[in-house]
Amino acid sequence: MKVALQFVAMGLVWGASFLFMKVALEGVSFGQVAWARLVFGALTLGVIALIMRVRLPREPIVWVHFAVVAVTYCVIPFLLFAWAEQYVSSSLASIYNAVTPITTAILVTAAFRVEKLNRDQVLGVLIGVVGVVVVVGPWAVDALAGSLWGQFACLGAVTCYGFSFGYIRKFISPRAVSATTSAFMNIGLAAVIMILLTPVVAWHPITFSWPVLLSLLALGALGTGVVYIWNMNVLRAWGPTATSGVTYVTPVVGVALGILVLGEHLTWNEPVGAVIVFAGILLTQQRVRLFTRRQAELAAQEAAARS
């Protein structure tokens, strides 16, 4: 599958994941959602890895790097998003997921220094932060009482994603590890961690129904299994900032499914804030240029004048 198609497929599957989490929470706890997601995802990737006869890395340091990513890219954000959806709509959670390119741009520059932001990108980050504030809607203090911590949990999850994109780019992408191996190592180690944490996060009563079971299977096999191979392929081909742009597609799918399937409603500030965030992402990913284009034009004019 071409990289561009894998990118779009990622957005569709991950957008639907917020619906799957919401449905699954009707029968299981948030910890069980994250647990099932990782275990089913690891089993799916394990079968694919066996069929493809992938070789696991032998260097201990590589395993350490993948363990870090397993925690920051899977365990923590999966728990945070599942916990958050007990208090916020699946539509709102998918909108917050769109902040990932902003957190990625900040962390790949400030923490890992694998990319350097120009003035357009800095402006994009600032606009994105304004968009987040609008989505939160701090002026409606009373209305926020039940959802504020859920929204903070969503922000914590996307901060973990931003950290992970930078970490993968600096410590894993330069190594000769295939996309399938990377995905299996990442999800597999995360699943092992979650299994070890079973008494803490997943030891709760369960009320199974077909919608709950199918949602957990889809969330694991698709949303955490196959899609992570696509994600690693796109990340290697396009880099962290461009790959995180999958969140353009994710909220559109997430909001549409939340409204059409679950009957959710948005307040005016949520879509407005999302549009502001998207504007910031356009600048951050240099899809639109302001300062840099002007600088290029001035440089061209100076070169023409000298000639």
Domain that holds residue 254: 3-117+146-267
Placement of tokens 């949602």 in the chain: 215
Q: Are 80 and 160 in contact (CB under 8 A)?
A: yes
Q: For position 231, what pLDDT does the model report?
A: 82
Q: For position 197, what pLDDT does the model report?
A: 94
Q: Is residue 44 in a domain? A: yes
Q: Is residue 223 in a domain? A: yes
Q: For position 115, what pLDDT does the model report?
A: 72
User: Which among 93, 78, 96 is positioned nearest to 41, based on CA atoms?
Assistant: 78
Mean confidence (pLDDT) of the chain: 87
Q: Is residue 136 in a domain? A: no
DSSP code per residue over 144-195: HTTTHHHHHHHHHHHHHHHHHHHHIIIIITTS---HHHHHHHHHHHHHHHHH
Placement of tokens 């780019």 in the chain: 169
Say if pTM beats, i.e. exceeds, 0.75.
yes
Q: For position 196, what pLDDT does the model report?
A: 96
Q: Is residue 278 in a domain? A: no
Q: Are 75 and 131 in contact (CB under 8 A)?
A: no
Q: Is residue 184 in a domain? A: yes
Q: Which residues of the chain have a pLDDT value below 50?
A: 298
Q: Is residue 52 in a domain? A: yes
Q: What tokens does 41 get?
A: 């995802």
What's the CA dihedral at 157, 272, 88, 67 to 10 degrees?
-10
Residue-wise pLDDT for 267-285, tens only, equals 888 899 999 998 988 888 7
User: Which among 21, 20, 41 is positioned nearest to 31, based on CA atoms?
Assistant: 21
Q: How many domains does the chain have?
A: 1
Q: For position 163, what pLDDT does the model report?
A: 94
Q: For position 241, what pLDDT does the model report?
A: 65
**CA-based end-to-end distance of the chain:** 47
Q: Is residue 290 in a domain? A: no
Q: Is residue 234 in a domain? A: yes
Q: For position 208, what pLDDT does the model report?
A: 86
